[in-house]
Structure 1
């Protein structure tokens, strides 16, 4: 090939044109770009208009906002969601000109938005994705651990103020809705709200990260949330992924040492929120001052609010019920507060919800919620001339019975306020569980931090990864069959006789544990389980299934106060008392009631070294010791679970 021809081919491949010049020298001229400076897509046939705007806040920071307006909309209500997960992605799918498919996905009630013609607004919160400013995880309200003049409430106020003035198709009425972190935003919007905010729907909201939502449960650190913290705080766009090379998180966290060691190994000391977690392992003022249930309890109730709780929420099963308990006594006439309890995992409300794991629910419970509860509720406050919604103050799905109940208060088993009665189920000799007072004695097991009890069947994947070849991926692990754990020697199992009639349980079961350890610290995990008959004719695969109804962990060092970690006295039987998550379940005839007790739940929660150390995040290998645990029967003062049995 001629040398000049070869040179021309190479130059073209590099995106330039080679031209021979006088004297044999070669000059180069760039080819013009094929990308226009400002391409405007043609949206012919679209049934909505997409606008993006950066809304200015009172301190000059702008927040990136996506506005989706149905074609022909006039006097339409605005439905707002604020998110750290990317407004552009939540408000845009490029494969459809129709608003419904465009919105289908996380945190978008697409069917309701299309049916009732709402203007959909999705906004990046301060410091994330397209918004300016600094990101602070669950930024607390001003005056509650926040010494500045800016919080999420002020940003929401300023955003709503701009929207009602600059979206001419709106009727000036705004509702806010969101799940999880976005649910936290929906709840905090009710504090010092803009007058145009007419309704709020926090779904599975993050309310108190220490007591029982994302970061801790009763003092035990939720170790498998480390990848979430890592991804949320390492960059504005959360585009630096968590990678480990491990197929099984059990191996990753066991070999990694303490949760603090894991963080250090992945460079997390540079992440501001992680440093706060490490510095505040107890329930000190850092956590208690920003708990939204406590804050909301001291604020006026001005915005009608529907709290939505998932009975098998694997991420935030504490906060919404804590808010309900705080606010319900202040709303006896049911003018401002509503509650929905559904048979769901976290963030299941927008999907088909006719099953959860292996459990069949008898109907699409998600659709029922959206169409018969949420839709009329939103319409009452956002649509001009809409009728008053005929939605009960409490709508509660009964698992095991597969039916919705309309109630006035919670907990209750009927519309007229049938309150559950407390019924003790005692740990009995030989692994029995009964309502009779047992004889004295104890049952023991050895808890070994080197071989902790897995919280699910291995291999265990990170919270953020579903497992394509398994049905029981992370989102629905709370309904996993518990038989694999009942056979371990470091798990105590107590089971009742076969029930001869239905037994409904509505409310929070209370654990009363009398136990000792040869260590100086200990975790206690208690599970309430519905054991299916050995043969289930209509679905043989459910034979003998051990369905978790409620499960929780308690870190022993907080026995005398969540803000006062204290070593346990080795060998001494001590009382522990803590609630299990909210249940609304019927144990059917032929089923049995089971309670399991253990001292690790790994790697969901970090291992307790079983030696008292000031901060478990800094525990050293030598601190992790075996301990002999004894669960004590002592008549009425021994170990039992108090069930709120519905009459």
Structure 2
């Protein structure tokens, strides 16, 4: 990727050279790199040795661990350690094979660290019993039940005492589930753990991944074998594949629709899946979920933290934003807590594709490489190899504006200089800045037997998780009668949203339950040109309706996630909830649009709209039509940056 990155930087900053001069300059600039640099797998094999350890925890459980040590490590040349703990396997497991990449990036692998990979408790080659989002038990020691914090502490303690030629400093990183393990490692941390980068970390399964505001993420249905079956002991091969669903179709919408109520899932597929059973038996935010929420435990955090996420991460967007905010709020004197949010999908900052895109939206070239070299590597280098005094030269918040398509630097997030602005949902379909003088409403019929699809791209509906919808064109939804649309006039100047978004909906339903989905959309002008990398020939950016942010709220939880309650039929009711943060400039000539709907299928499960105590056990006959009203004193409150 060196060549492409070099070309992009050069082309941007030296526009005055002729095409021939540019070619010659780039040719001679790149030639030495091409001659000297090895491909990464070869570099790893020639520069690292692999060691296998079974590290004992305080309770005697042994965790299987690979340690990759630079061959030139010596008493006079010591290296820090960078660790990644995962539930997804640290294969290959034989002594002579190496993974394609050892660390967060090629940059760090070539700079050389001692890299440590570990299977967490109860997974793959490690001993013990697996549980999802291991509850935290404050403190570490013999009389405290083990958790991910104590397993991290024990591992770090063993590493610094037993791995030769380490410099006594340890960093930790991991993305997605390993991001959760990275977060957990910062709690009651070992003194040698100096730097931690939770990337797309899960924070709370009731608001991230498997649920959003209590609504079940049905698109995750195919993942349950991975998370809901215990292995019978250490194994290098997948033990859960017998539970994989034979879908017999490539049309996810049709598969989920024909499944019917979620009560049929256990009957047909997951009778013996312990995580499905836990999910069904805990439909509300009870103690089972609450004790798996890592955020309240992020106090007295000692390691430097850099939380990383992607603005278009369909899996873990709640996690990074709220992990950073929780550390900031609960550690007010901590100066080395930071956040980075880029124009990426889940983990997109860890892989370079040349043109940085999400669905049809192009953000620029080599943005992942910029992050890896100038942000991530700099963070770890400072705390693990340099002074570690906190003077990294990086801002607290390094955030990418997905509308202006450029990085912004802030002292905190949300920016303290942002101001609040409300957009009211007027009955005439307009977004208005002034509150209405008299009551009126918009209405639609919601039919769970004809649910609004979350995407037009059928090919993406059968994957392990949904990925693309976060920026997809929403014209198909805007033209449905069961989706309300509110928008501004054409903007006469840029408007930058930077921070949090709060929806306050004033609604009613003719039935006793309802979900509410709000989508924030950037409507492009009719003359918007297509860029050179359009991935789908049937999509044009003319009048493109780009999803900027969206969220669902299960209406029964409007007052409490612990104690759901039905709606009173046809009674005007407040439903207030947050969209996740944004940093997006709506450009002059564009329009800001809000869509409101009640189904979003099969991304999320359907609400029967007739209140039942447990939607996972609803009968097919419980699913009924309803008339929903959205009143004109409903508003969306945003943070504006001027």
- TM normalised by structure 1 equals 0.85
Deviation at 1:368, TM superposition (A): 1.7
2:423 is matched with 425
2:479 is matched with 487
Distance in 2, matches of 1:93 and 1:556, equals 55
Q: Is the 8 A contact 1:62 1:132 kept in 2?
A: yes
Residues 533-612 of structure 1: matches in 2 within 5 Å? Answer: 533-537=525-529, 539=531, 541-612=540-611
Deviation at 1:135, TM superposition (A): 0.8
In structure 2, relative to structure 1, the CA distance for the partners of 1:435 and 1:131 (3 Å cut) is same
In structure 2, relative to structure 1, the CA distance for the partners of 1:640 and 1:261 (3 Å cut) is same
Tell me, which stretches of 5 or more residues in structure 2 are unaligned?
1-41, 232-237, 533-539
**Residue 516 (str. 1) matches residue 505 (str. 2):** no
Alignment counterpart, residue 529 of structure 1, candidates 511, 521, 525:
521
**Residue 137 (str. 1) matches residue 140 (str. 2):** no
Deviation at 1:463, TM superposition (A): 5.7
Q: Is the 8 A contact 1:93 1:102 kept in 2?
A: no
Distance in 2, matches of 1:157 and 1:534, equals 57
**Residue 253 (str. 1) matches residue 256 (str. 2):** yes
Tell me, which stretches of 5 or more residues in structure 1 are unaligned?
1-41, 467-473
**Residue 86 (str. 1) matches residue 85 (str. 2):** no
**Residue 639 (str. 1) matches residue 634 (str. 2):** yes
Q: Is the 8 A contact 1:532 1:591 kept in 2?
A: yes
Distance in 1, matches of 2:387 and 2:499, equals 37
Q: 1:103 aligns to what SS in structure 2?
A: coil
2:336 is matched with 336
Q: 1:159 aligns to what SS in structure 2?
A: helix
Give the number of equivalent residue pairs.
576
**Residue 219 (str. 1) matches residue 221 (str. 2):** no
Q: 1:423 aligns to what SS in structure 2?
A: strand
Q: 1:205 aligns to what SS in structure 2?
A: coil
Q: Is the 8 A contact 2:130 2:230 kept in 1?
A: no
Distance in 1, matches of 2:311 and 2:94, equals 29
Deviation digits for residues 575-626 of structure 1, max 9, x if unmatched?
A: 1111111100000000000000000111111110001001000000111101
Deviation at 1:505, TM superposition (A): 0.3
Q: Is the 8 A contact 1:507 1:583 kept in 2?
A: yes
Distance in 2, matches of 1:404 and 1:536, equals 23
Alignment counterpart, residue 406 of structure 1, candidates 403, 406, 409:
409
Distance in 2, matches of 1:257 and 1:45, equals 51
Distance in 1, matches of 2:609 and 2:618, equals 10
Deviation digits for residues 263-306 of structure 1, max 9, x if unmatched?
A: 3310x23222222211111112222232111121xx31211111
1:72 is matched with 72
Distance in 1, matches of 2:425 and 2:94, equals 53
Distance in 2, matches of 1:103 and 1:93, equals 15
In structure 2, relative to structure 1, the CA distance for the partners of 1:459 and 1:339 (3 Å cut) is same
Deviation at 1:307, TM superposition (A): 0.9
1:626 is matched with 625
Alignment counterpart, residue 497 of structure 1, candidates 489, 493, 498:
489
In structure 2, relative to structure 1, the CA distance for the partners of 1:45 and 1:206 (3 Å cut) is closer
Deviation at 1:525, TM superposition (A): 0.4
Deviation at 1:564, TM superposition (A): 1.1
Distance in 2, matches of 1:270 and 1:255, equals 22
1:459 is matched with 458
2:111 is matched with 116
Q: Is the 8 A contact 1:248 1:458 kept in 2?
A: no
2:448 is matched with 449
Q: 2:308 aligns to what SS in structure 1?
A: strand
Deviation at 1:239, TM superposition (A): 4.5
**Residue 303 (str. 1) matches residue 295 (str. 2):** no
Distance in 2, matches of 1:527 and 1:504, equals 17
Residues 102-501 of structure 1: matches in 2 within 5 Å? Answer: 102-103=100-101, 108-142=103-137, 149-210=145-206, 212-236=207-231, 237-240=238-241, 241-266=244-269, 268-296=270-298, 299-332=299-332, 335-352=335-352, 354-383=356-385, 388-412=391-415, 417-418=416-417, 420-438=418-436, 439-459=438-458, 461-462=460-461, 464=463, 474-501=466-493
Q: 1:430 aligns to what SS in structure 2?
A: coil
After superposing the two structures, state which structure 1 stretch, 453-462 or 601-610, moved more. Answer: 453-462
Deviation at 1:43, TM superposition (A): 12
Deviation digits for residues 465-490 of structure 1, max 9, x if unmatched?
A: 59xxxxxxx42221110011111111
In structure 2, relative to structure 1, the CA distance for the partners of 1:133 and 1:313 (3 Å cut) is same
In structure 2, relative to structure 1, the CA distance for the partners of 1:43 and 1:307 (3 Å cut) is closer
Q: 2:137 aligns to what SS in structure 1?
A: coil
Q: 1:580 aligns to what SS in structure 2?
A: strand
Deviation at 1:364, TM superposition (A): 2.2
Deviation at 1:161, TM superposition (A): 1.4
Deviation at 1:551, TM superposition (A): 0.1
Deviation digits for residues 526-557 of structure 1, max 9, x if unmatched?
A: 00000000111363931111111110000111
Q: 1:242 aligns to what SS in structure 2?
A: coil
Deviation digits for residues 289-330 of structure 1, max 9, x if unmatched?
A: 32111121xx31211111112111100111222222222135
RMSD (CA atoms): 2.4
1:15 is matched with none
In structure 2, relative to structure 1, the CA distance for the partners of 1:91 and 1:430 (3 Å cut) is farther
Q: 1:515 aligns to what SS in structure 2?
A: strand
Q: Is the 8 A contact 2:300 2:331 kept in 1?
A: no
In structure 2, relative to structure 1, the CA distance for the partners of 1:91 and 1:591 (3 Å cut) is farther
Q: Is the 8 A contact 1:78 1:170 kept in 2?
A: yes
Deviation at 1:91, TM superposition (A): 10
Distance in 2, matches of 1:347 and 1:457, equals 24
Q: Is the 8 A contact 1:531 1:545 kept in 2?
A: yes
Q: 2:152 aligns to what SS in structure 1?
A: helix
Deviation at 1:90, TM superposition (A): 9.5
- TM normalised by structure 2 equals 0.85
Deviation at 1:202, TM superposition (A): 0.2
Distance in 2, matches of 1:582 and 1:346, equals 16
Distance in 2, matches of 1:216 and 1:86, equals 25
Deviation digits for residues 246-274 of structure 1, max 9, x if unmatched?
A: 211212221212223223310x2322222
